[in-house]
């Protein structure tokens, strides 16, 4: 059962183990933040959505920003792990490109709209939020860059620039695809963009 499903299934006042309660609160907070944005969301809304009192909510999260950052950490880590898993899933670089592109499409498509907290936050003027968003973007690019540098003749700084370009392409096109109503099936959309990316990156010579 997901955190959001727990939110819907548990009546107010039900006692839960601390970890389960925390997950329930995060699920409720995600729904509220995605629907309303950070500034419009209130701790009252989140407590009501979770079916708990505000004191229970504050036992786990001292304030709204703490709650938001906990969610952001969770989903930034999920994106990074998905990208790393895609890169490690094969040694065939064409398939690596396809798997990495699909990791971004899957992250954006994931039910609950968590990607909006990472890529479309209304709180990027907050240093702690901006730092996390920039960090996960950098770490994803570094993971891709390491593969490029290892397998091609590109020096590290050029490999990093290429990696930033590939990750940016994946992120922006995945968000456009979702916003346009998923008119193309996800597999086909990811394959289309990976074909474009592969035709570019495949032009760089491999190491002997």
pLDDT digits (tens, 9 = 90+) for 162-193: 999 999 999 999 999 999 999 999 999 999 99
Distance CA 121, CA 144 (A): 24
How high is the pLDDT of residue 206? 77
Distance CA 147, CA 129 (A): 28
Cα–chain center distance at 12: 30
Mean of pLDDT values over 144-173: 95
HEC string for the chain:
CCHHHHHHHCCCCCCCCHHHHHHHHHHHHHHHHHHHCCCCCCHHHHHHHHCCCHHHHHHHCCCHHHHHHHHHHHHHHHHHHHHHHHHHCCCCHHHHHHHHHHHHHHHHHCCCCCHHHHHCCCCCCCHHHHHHHHHHHHHHHHHHHHHHHHHECCCHHHHHHHHHHHHHHHHHHHHHHHHCCCCCCHHHHHHHHHHHHHHHHCCCCECC
Mean of pLDDT values over 105-131: 94
pLDDT band at 10 (very low <50, low <70, confident <90, very high): very low
Distance CA 9, CA 19 (A): 16
Reported pTM: 0.88
pLDDT per residue as tens digits for the range 42-100 = 999 999 999 999 999 999 999 999 999 999 999 999 999 999 999 999 999 999 999 99
């Amino acid at each position: 059962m997901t955190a959001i499903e727990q939110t819907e299934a548990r009546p107010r006042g039900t006692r839960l183990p601390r970890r389960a309660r925390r997950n329930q609160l995060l699920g409720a907070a995600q729904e509220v933040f995605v629907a309303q944005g950070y500034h419009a969301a209130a701790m009252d809304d989140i407590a009501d959505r979770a079916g708990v009192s505000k004191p229970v909510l504050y036992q786990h999260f001292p304030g709204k920003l703490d709650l938001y950052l906990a969610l952001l950490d969770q989903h930034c880590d999920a994106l990074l792990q998905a990208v790393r898993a895609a890169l490690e899933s094969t040694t065939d670089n064409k398939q690596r490109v396809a798997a990495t592109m699909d990791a971004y499409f899957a992250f954006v498509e994931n039910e609950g709209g968590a990607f909006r907290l990472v890529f479309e936050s209304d709180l990027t003027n907050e240093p702690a939020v901006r730092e996390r968003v920039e960090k996960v973007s950098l770490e994803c690019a570094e993971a891709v860059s390491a593969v490029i540098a290892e397998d091609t003749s590109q020096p590290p700084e050029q490999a990093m620039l290429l990696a930033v370009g590939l990750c940016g392409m994946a992120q922006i096109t995945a968000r456009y695809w979702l916003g346009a109503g998923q008119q193309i099936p996800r597999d086909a959309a990811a394959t289309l963009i990976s074909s474009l990316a592969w035709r570019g990156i495949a032009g760089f010579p491999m190491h002997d």
